[in-house]
Chains A and B, each alone.
Chain A
């Protein structure tokens, strides 16, 4: 069975500063990796996903993530954050084609961008 650990439950940063949200996963098989964002009182929106190929993945809103197989990590980064990036961010994995829609999520990281 797979598991996901988000290493920081809360990350406060100042506007225009860079940010990294850390995610580690555990699985005995190959995985697909995702980052979702959740704004207050809303559902989840996909930021980016890693399926195969290049380990650097670019997503929406200027976010990117790097897949590191040896460290089983998939950290999310943004070079300069805005107030509007304040939200909760979830890292998720799905194990294989056969697991279908079953996503396993991390506990979430609350990103707070201060002026």
Chain B
């Protein structure tokens, strides 16, 4: 079974631009979560989607948004990029939400650099 895939793996943007990152969960998994990883702030939860609905949201500004499609694939978008948005963005999938016992499987991440 294929793992979580994220595209693109690397991305370079300039301040003020917007960016869209994509995540395909493990086949059969219906919940997708996004995390931001930076040297200064560590790993922080962005949001979780299930059945095309946002179930949970972290403490990030409205410039960060996401969506989920009917096939469970998810995208996250960051508008008006700032230098501080440079980070590794990780996507994780699990079979169903609302069960803390369920293992989350992480993708390799998208490395975003904002110049």
**CB within 8 Å of B: which residues of A?**
32, 36, 41-46, 49, 51, 90, 92, 94-108
Contact = CB atoms under 8 A, between A and B. Distances in A.
B100 interface: yes
B106 A102 contact: no
Contacts of B100: 32, 51, 94-97, 99-100
B33 A42 contact: no
B33, B43, B55 — most chain A CB neighbours (10 Å) = B43
Nearest to B102: A101
B98 A98 contact: yes
B4 interface: yes
Contact of A102 (B42, B45, B90, B109): B45
A51 B55 CA distance: 22
Contact of B90 (A43, A46, A96, A104): A43
B28 interface: no
A94, A101, A108 — most chain B CB neighbours (10 Å) = A101
A41, A51, A92, A102 — most chain B CB neighbours (10 Å) = A102
B71 interface: no
Interface residues of B, number: 27
Given A36-B106, A101-B97, A108-B43, 16 more contacts: A45-B106, A46-B103, A46-B104, A46-B105, A49-B103, A51-B101, A92-B43, A96-B100, A97-B98, A100-B98, A101-B48, A101-B92, A101-B94, A103-B35, A103-B45, A103-B104
B107 interface: yes
Contacts of A45: 106
B4, B100, B104 — most chain A CB neighbours (10 Å) = B100
A96, A103, A108 — most chain B CB neighbours (10 Å) = A103
A101 B33 contact: yes
Contacts of B106: 36, 43-45
B45 A104 contact: yes
A94 B55 CA distance: 15
